[in-house]
């Protein structure tokens, strides 16, 4: 876990989090704050925090996701692919639950998702700004610890200069406050 914490801290001032195989939050760096601002349903932040539920629940981050329909389609496609590969009953139930949440669509046409797409941007309203992110997922290829084999790290990178500037400013504010 020390290696995971090092990776998370090393990614600051940009957000990163570690999740288990069921998408439950294991750890996150301090830069994850903008994602958690204005969560109106407190139960979503009680452990175990499921990051997919937190992202798509109407009382979670979803109301602040500017491109919710696209981001939702991307997450659900990722989860469906994982379910097709594993048949894990916990993940199948999670997918069923998430599909029942509001879609963010203003029409009945589903949001397009390019299955072979390399980048699915996340656009998140934060105050007066819209923060734009791309993300990567890191898994440990040959871990010696079975716990690490079930962890993934999602690292969010600024997709534009405005996002980079806001994240650097927030990191300076956190440092000054501590």
The CATH number of residue 162's host domain is 3.30.450.180
Q: How many domains does the chain have?
A: 1
Distances (CA, A) of 51 to 20, 75, 80: 10, 11, 16
Domain extent, residue 154, equals 2-177
First to last CA, the chain: 24
Which parts of 75-149 are beta strand (E)? 122-126, 129-139
Q: Which two tokens stand for residue 48?
A: 């175990």
Is 143 or 41 the better-scoring residue by pLDDT? 41
pLDDT single digits (tens) 52-102: 999 999 999 999 999 999 999 999 999 999 999 999 999 999 999 999 998
pLDDT mean over 100-107: 73
Three-class secondary structure of residue 65 per DSSP? strand
Q: What percent of the chain has pLDDT over 70?
A: 86
pLDDT tens, residue by residue, 138-174: 887 665 555 556 799 999 999 999 999 999 999 999 9
Q: What distance lies between CA 54 and its chain's CA centroid?
A: 8
């Amino acid at each position: 876990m020390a290696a995971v914490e090092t990776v998370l801290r090393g990614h600051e001032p940009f957000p990163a989090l570690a999740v288990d195989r069921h998408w439950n939050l294991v750890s996150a760096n301090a830069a994850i704050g903008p994602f958690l601002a204005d969560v109106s349903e407190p139960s979503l932040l009680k452990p175990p925090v499921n990051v997919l539920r937190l992202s798509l629940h109407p009382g979670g981050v979803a109301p602040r996701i500017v491109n919710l329909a696209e981001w939702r389609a991307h997450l659900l496609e990722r989860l469906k692919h994982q379910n097709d590969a594993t048949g894990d009953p916990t993940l199948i139930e999670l997918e069923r639950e998430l599909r029942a949440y509001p879609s963010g669509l203003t029409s009945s046409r589903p949001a397009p998702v390019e299955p072979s797409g390399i980048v699915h941007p996340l656009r998140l309203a934060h105050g007066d700004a819209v923060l734009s992110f791309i993300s990567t997922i890191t898994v440990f290829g040959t871990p010696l610890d079975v716990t690490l084999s079930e962890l993934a790290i999602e690292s969010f990178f600024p997709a534009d200069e405005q996002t980079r500037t806001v994240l650097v400013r927030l990191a300076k504010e956190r440092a000054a406050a501590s």
